[in-house]
Structure 1
Amino acid sequence: MKATLNDTVLAEASDEEVVSIEGNWYFAPHTVKAQFLDASPTQYTCSWKGPCQFYHVEIDGHAHADQAWAYPDLIDGAVARVGQDFAGFVAFGREVTVTP
């Protein structure tokens, strides 16, 4: 799978390195190009995943606000609910195109 924004590849992973959760594809941390992500101050806590870390996606000096997120510290039971450990996996917002 590949995540792109404005022809810039943000992440690229094999099927084994992604997991689908609630309609979003989450990419394993090592498959994401971290140089395009800048931590956002936006706060959110999911009732079953835990605290979320949002990121602005920055390309060519333009920040796309909160277009990526991850759950670095999962709540007990989250892994069992999904069927695999997805701590730190990164998902992308609607501005980002994710293709097989």
Structure 2
Amino acid sequence: MKAIWNGEVLAQSNDTVVVEGNHYFPPASLNRQFFSDSSTTTNCPWKGTASYYNIEVNGKVNKDAAWVYATPKSAASNITGHIAFWKGVDVQP
């Protein structure tokens, strides 16, 4: 799987975990130069607290376009540290 935005590959892996239709990419699969921390968090009743990343590619910023459960609840332990995408990021085989 690949996550692509603004013409760049943000992450690529043959080992994503699919939860609720979202592909969660292992941390080592990210091209970290495109990511910066965001102060945004959200809470899921069964997964826990998600933290967000802003994505910047070729001078364009996609705010809060990726998220991670760094310390999820036990029901979601299989996505610990994995990153998922939305807001126009194309996730494809």
TM exceeding 0.5: yes
Distance in 2 of aligned mates of 1:96 and 1:29: 17
Which one has the largest radius of gyration?
A: 1
| Count of aligned pairs | 93
For residue 30 of structure 1, what is the aligned residue in structure 2? 28
Match of 1:95 among 79, 82, 88: 88
Report matched runs for 1:74-89 at 5 Å.
74-79=72-77, 85-89=78-82
What amino acid is the match of 2:72? L
For residue 3 of structure 1, what is the aligned residue in structure 2? 3
Q: Unpaired runs of 5+ in structure 1?
A: 80-84
Q: Which runs of 4+ in 1 moved over 3 A?
A: none
Report matched runs for 1:20-59 at 5 Å.
20-59=18-57
RMSD: 1.1
Distance in 1 of aligned mates of 2:31 and 2:60: 16
